[in-house]
Chains A and B, each alone.
Chain A
Amino acid sequence: MSNHKIYLQPVPVRIWHWLNALGIITLALTGAQIRYPEYVSIFATYRTAITLHNTAGIVVALSFSFWFFYYKIVAGTMANIYVPKTDDLTRGLFRQAIFYFLSYFFGAPNPHHAKPDDKFNPLQKSAYLAIMFVIMPLVSLTGIFLMNVEPLRELVLVIGGLKILMGLHFLLACTLTAFLFTHVYLATLGKTPLAYLKPMWTGWEEEEDKVDEVQVNDNVPPHTA
Chain B
Amino acid sequence: MRLASNSSQQRIITTTMALLFLSCIAVGAGEGGGPGYSFGDSKGKNDSCMACHSNQATVGARNYIDPKKFGHTTHSKFGCTTCHDAVSSSHPDGKAVSMTTSCRDCHPDIIEQYSQNFHARLAPCSGCHNPHRVFRPEEISGDELNRQCGNCHKKDKIASSHSRWLPQAGLHLGSIACVTCHSKAQDYVITIYIGKRYGTTEEKLAPAGYEELSRLAAGESLQPLIDSNRDNYISITELQQFNRNPANKEFFLKGMLTPIKPTHSFQTFDNRWDCTFCHASGPQIMQTSFVAFPERNGTYRQVPVEKGAVLGALQTIPNFYLMGSTRNSTMNKIGLLIIAGGMIMPAGHGFLRFLTRKNRK
Q: Whole-angstrom distance from the CB of A63 to the nearest CB of chain B? A: 22
Q: Contacts A163-B312, A171-B338, A185-B350 given: A35-B327 contact, CB under 8 Å?
A: yes
Q: Whole-angstrom distance from the CB of A118 to the nearest CB of chain B? A: 24
* A175 to chain B: closest residue by CB: B338
Contact A50 B171 (CB under 8 A): no
Interface residue stretch chosen among B10-18, B90-98, B225-233, B313-321: B313-321
In chain A, residues 130-174, which have Cβ atoms closer than 8 Å to a Cβ of chain B? 147, 149-150, 153-154, 156-157, 160-164, 166-167, 170-171, 173-174
Q: Whole-angstrom distance from the CB of A157 to the nearest CB of chain B? A: 6
Interface residue stretch chosen among A78-86, A176-184, A217-225: A176-184
Q: Contacts A163-B314, A164-B314, A170-B331 given: A46-B276 contact, CB under 8 Å?
A: yes
How far is B350's CA from A184's CA once the two chains are assembled, in angstroms? 12
Interface residue stretch chosen among B45-53, B162-170, B288-296: B162-170
Residues of B close to A128: CB separation below 8 A: none
Interface residue stretch chosen among B35-43, B108-116, B150-158, B340-348: B340-348
Q: Contacts A47-B165, A50-B275, A150-B174 given: A163-B317 contact, CB under 8 Å?
A: yes
Partner of A46, one of B252, B275, B327, B340: B275
How far is B339's CA from A185's CA once the two chains are assembled, in angstroms? 14
* A178 to chain B: closest residue by CB: B342
Number of residues on chain B facing chain A (CB within 8 A): 49
Cβ of B280 < 8 Å from any Cβ of A?
Answer: yes
How far is B83's CA from A142's CA once the two chains are assembled, in angstroms? 57
Cβ of B121 < 8 Å from any Cβ of A?
Answer: no
* A173 to chain B: closest residue by CB: B335
Contact B359 A166 (CB under 8 A): no
Number of residues on chain A facing chain B (CB within 8 A): 44
* A159 to chain B: closest residue by CB: B318
Contact B352 A160 (CB under 8 A): no
Contact B314 A50 (CB under 8 A): no
How far is B343's CA from A184's CA once the two chains are assembled, in angstroms? 11
Cβ of A111 < 8 Å from any Cβ of B?
Answer: no
* A54 to chain B: closest residue by CB: B167
How far is B253's CA from A215's CA once the two chains are assembled, in angstroms? 63
How far is B283's CA from A38's CA once the two chains are assembled, in angstroms? 11
Contact B331 A162 (CB under 8 A): no
Contact B171 A149 (CB under 8 A): yes
Contact A178 B321 (CB under 8 A): no
Cβ of B86 < 8 Å from any Cβ of A?
Answer: no
Contact A105 B352 (CB under 8 A): yes
Cβ of A66 < 8 Å from any Cβ of B?
Answer: no
Partner of A185, one of B276, B314, B346: B346
Residues of A close to B345: CB separation below 8 A: 181-182, 185
Contact A167 B313 (CB under 8 A): yes
Residues of A close to B252: CB separation below 8 A: 157, 161
B contact residues vs A (CB 8 Å cutoff): 165, 167-168, 170-171, 174, 197, 204, 252, 274-276, 279-280, 282, 312-321, 323-324, 327-328, 331, 334-336, 338-343, 345-346, 349-350, 352-353, 356, 359-361
A contact residues vs B (CB 8 Å cutoff): 34-38, 45-47, 50-51, 54, 100-101, 104-107, 147, 149-150, 153-154, 156-157, 160-164, 166-167, 170-171, 173-175, 177-182, 184-185
Query: Which A-B residue pairs are the 8 nearest by beta carbons?
Result: A178-B342, A161-B318, A185-B346, A46-B275, A174-B335, A37-B280, A107-B359, A105-B356
21 interchain pairs, CB-CB under 8 A: A34-B323, A36-B327, A37-B276, A45-B274, A46-B274, A100-B349, A105-B359, A107-B356, A150-B168, A154-B197, A162-B321, A163-B315, A163-B318, A167-B314, A167-B328, A171-B334, A171-B338, A174-B334, A175-B338, A181-B342, A182-B346
